[in-house]
Structure 1
């Protein structure tokens, strides 16, 4: 029994040694091919299969830039305006739907693509965990004025990375409303890395129209007309902050026809309504219609001007063209009120009916000439001298009214002396 027991023990030890040797050989072959070894599969002699998901790079490598310690990484930037939702001149912002494109080269990202594929699509969360990202954001967006619709990261087997992101934005803008409603504006989108300075990441514009564009179709349903667009990059230095920025600018001009029909023409008609006070006969029966017509016209222009002020920024320097036009209209209507009171005083208080009729005739002829010259001159005013232009108008009209009143006083004295 002892020899038999010893024989069986030797056989079992030999089989165990053979099994261990076979397992080590299969594991070595699997490691040479790059496949993970699994002990249970080796022992069961199950053929190994390549996993679709490649091995994740270590955390230390993905936290570093592709050119860490060397030249800055170049990021090609594209901005496409997909839709335009309008501007708000009062609160100084505009809204739109934009598509952002960022592309760069990272050889390490090629390891994320399976060998049997040419490229791979990652989500934003996957890309953040698996690879290095330049962390580029919109820098002039309003607080809570951004909503990401979709984000897709394309990686090919050569290490080329392309990030495409669609965003709904509300952009804070410093509008120049001096020429309102004939103003031209520039819609600006500024991009920069939220993490890296200019010595680490540099943004380069992509001039391909499939990635950078804006056209007339996006503004077809607004009161703006598209002119042109441009994408540039520059380095901005603010103390220790040195950023490489990309700036996409869309130049537009306002269509003033809605304001012509809704504001400018009604204000001109109100001035004409104020002029009608000089068309009424000068007698006690028409005193009330003359006074009420002048006052109603003046109050109407004040009401319309409040609507214009609501469309403009609350805090601004100087006035805009529309305010200049309304200032001239107010001054003309204020003039009609003063001159109407003058004629009534001459007729009723000074008891000079002939002089009152003569004054009314002079105003019927002279006021339209002065009003036309005043309103027409507004179209030649520019944004740089609007305040000076308004001051000159006020002084000129008040001086003309003062001279006219003084001439009436002198004529009244002359009539009194003759009597």
Structure 2
């Protein structure tokens, strides 16, 4: 379906080459300052035409708030967002050859099988164009609330393209979770630092240069390449996640794997952690360091956990519930399906032939996927947070229980 979330709900519309794309965002808390200027920076980070290694499609991706605010303040009513498709070129797809063939590894065939009809240009709803308003714009709204109310920070960056890795797995560190350099990076990395390594967004100049050269090589050969994006969520409140079927890592995986071109998700130690014994993998609890009141930089209502973990192989989530440690995960993106090379394939009427696709496409989606990953993470966290706050509010109205461990205690 085209709706994501339960308490903070986003319903999207639009195809790759229609007049506009957009969404309705329902459940935005009232009383928050919000204008297009709060949303546009993330839209600009995701927009096409940013460099020589992205699609040359030139879209400004200017977002317009249609409803749900007055005098720059959210009303608590549904917020409508619209982005015009200014540089649509349906003619790129209107030639006889393109009409005859389902493009290899694209959604042409499956959409036709599902609906009995499909968009004739671009990827329709399967295009990454769908992400611009429904994910990135809505995510920017969610992120502003999370940042202002709870001090949540969400930062994503490129960790691999093809066989070039920011943190190559090794016998010593089969998973980034045990790599001190990685752990140090996710404690402090911010978007300004990530964007200083454009166009690739891998925060290491030497690795970034190699990645850029690799993507350019595939572009020049009319080919494409995939890679991975890692995301860290800092200052996430404890207690988020809804066991058993909506565990926080499960909803994060759902969100990330709904992004076009994704093929994998791992959280914390991930698949590399499967090579580590439990005696090393377990995260022992330790007393959280005390932070004097007013010096933690967080909203006064934010409670700090009394315990933290010595290591963070769990990636900030245990039992499907956030534990207060940084949440980090990695998303895998396949090579873009549409390439300029001639490919042997079969027509819709089962005749073998050769397809040479036309259009404007990224040779690698990874650099532009970074803000999309951040935005989907924000949508997951705010939805889980609103659910938990409703639970905590309902519980606070009951008489206190005797003889139980106090779970909510703000550090002094």
TM-score between the two structures when normalised by the length of structure 1:
0.22
Instruction: Specify which structure has the higher proportion of strand.
Output: 1
Instruction: Identify the structure with bigger relative contact order (alpha carbons < 8 Å, sequence gap 6+).
Output: 2
TM-score between the two structures when normalised by the length of structure 2:
0.22
Q: Which has the larger radius of gyration?
A: 1
Instruction: Specify which structure has the higher proportion of helix.
Output: 1
